[in-house]
Structure 1
């Protein structure tokens, strides 16, 4: 198990402060229109907002990510009624690499070579509505269904390495029956509130519209959000967990990862600095710590 080596960018959790969250980017005309609709036609605003909220943007694939993806074995599978695309590298017990909301499999490729060198097969998905996979909308339920399907095809699953909302989807999948011996979460949320707040502020909808959106979404997905968040399922988890989280993360506050580690039996928290929400995935020291933990 990796030690708190002085070369790693890890710092004491006691120094944490909650940074200002970065709102979801939206053009001014949309914010103005949604503010007006929230006041004049909240029902209509909620329907439009739900579509916006559950429609992820497709992020650009970096050249170095594309090169690693090209070395992988491309596969397709059916999950939650759509086609999901993924890549696999190496042989051995499977480690699932799980991107976050608005991400893609390429964002997890910095872990691939180290996972393979450790004797594992690395499997990365473009989750539903992301990357090369089908669909325009996605959700926690879509994420978990795709992970469950991948686990059935490539299992047994030795480990899961997940980022941000992908950690939420992974925790929900594990709580729903996906078995993994170990897990590493980069910048995980404790719940969904920070995502809802960033959307509400960025898009300009009222709290009433946000409440309607969430009620409609629960009916659509056939779930209750109360009870399925990472912090809700954490106390039931048995797999060892490592949480890596930048204390100045402006998308998922550091305190959320720290609280998740507190609730997850036996979890380890490793705060980092200067890496933000995405660069933490490309930091060589964090990659080494993550793969070392997964290797056990």
Structure 2
């Protein structure tokens, strides 16, 4: 959903939030179809992240067709493939430093931009579309030996039932593991009409045959029997660090690496992520 809502976490009364609630409820009551169309654009349109990292030399772009439009893929290096997936309003460019590191270790780093993100086509984004895109990318490539995922991309990887993902190691960076709870709380805090929000979700559920209540990344992670490393910052204001701690304490397959002062996004090019990748390749 829109950054203005997804990343908005007010803790006290807000006149603006109250006005949002009144206006969206009234809009839904007086013009239901138009309200849903407008809400879909607001809630499901990600921000196109501007490239901040230098593009690695030798980076190869390709196109993969998907139901959401043409998805841009990026490949660097040679050897066994590690798939990389960004999060909401993210892009592959955030992973350029890690892709260089992966290539230097003798692997192929394969990343892609979700629909509505980076250089890919499309306007809308949401978890069912993320899962669908992941499966399309997996079908388009040969064997995958590991996956790196950031934020909401982590939830998508855990939700996917694709056979190529089930027994490979995962490196989850600042993962949003309580996706459904996080989503509902964010919408509630924004003041947006929950009735209108539910109407938008109903359309997505029907289109993808993907009931919202089915989403449960935490349980899927606990059910896995392949090694997972989580790199997370306790100061992360987007993804709940305590849930990463809980997952590591509940599963012998999950190891948590705590960082300091990186927050939610800068952590992707931290030394801890690079070292965690090295550890996974040696297990």
Normalising by structure 2, we get a TM-score of 0.84
User: Distance in 1 between the 2:260 and 2:19 partners?
Assistant: 38
Q: Which of 188, 194, 198 lines up with 2:186 in the alignment?
A: 198
Equivalent in the alignment of 1:276: 263
Please state if 1:53 is matched with 2:38: no
Q: List gaps (5 residues or longer) in structure 1.
A: 1-20
Whether 1:227 and 2:217 are equivalent positions in the alignment is no
**1:128 maps to 2:115:** yes
8 A contact 1:114–1:291 mirrored in 2:
no
Pair 1:35-2:25 in alignment: no
When residues 201 and 50 of structure 1 are mapped into structure 2, their CA distance, relative to the original with a 3 A threshold, is farther
Structure 1 residues 210-266: Cα deviation after superposition (integer angstroms, max 9, x where no partner): 344333432233111223331132233222100111111111111232234445551
Offset at residue 279 of structure 1 (A) = 1.0
Q: Which runs of 5+ in 2 are unaligned?
A: 1-5
1:265, 1:52 → 2: CA distance?
A: 41
The alignment partner of 1:84 has SS state of: strand
Give the one of 68, 84, 96 matched to 1:109. 96
Task: Provide TM-score, normalisation by structure 1.
Answer: 0.81
Aligned position for 1:177 = 163
Q: Distance in 1 between matches of 2:7 and 2:122?
A: 26
**Shift of the alpha carbon at 1:108?**
1.2
1:208 positional shift: 3.5
Query: Aligned residue for 2:278?
Result: 291
Asked whether the equivalents of residues 235 and 265 of structure 1 are also in contact (C-alpha less than 8 Å), the reply is no
CA RMSD, aligned part only? 2.6
1:169-225 deviation line (CA, Å, top 9, x unaligned): 11112x3433352110011122222133224434x3133333443334322331112
Contact 1:111 1:291 in 2 (8 A): no
Runs of 4+ in 1 over 6 A off after TM superposition: none
CA distance in 2, matches of 1:86, 1:264: 33
Q: Identify the match of residue 132 of structure 2 among 109, 128, 145.
A: 145
* Residues 149, 172 of structure 2: 8 Å contact kept: yes
For this pair of structures, how many residues does the alignment match? 269
State how far apart, in whole Å, the 1-side matches of 2:120 and 2:279 are.
30
Closer, same or farther in 2 for the Cα pair 1:264/1:88, shift >3 Å?
farther
Equivalent pair of 1:249/1:276 in contact (CA under 8 Å):
yes
Query: Counterpart in 2 of 1:83?
Result: 70
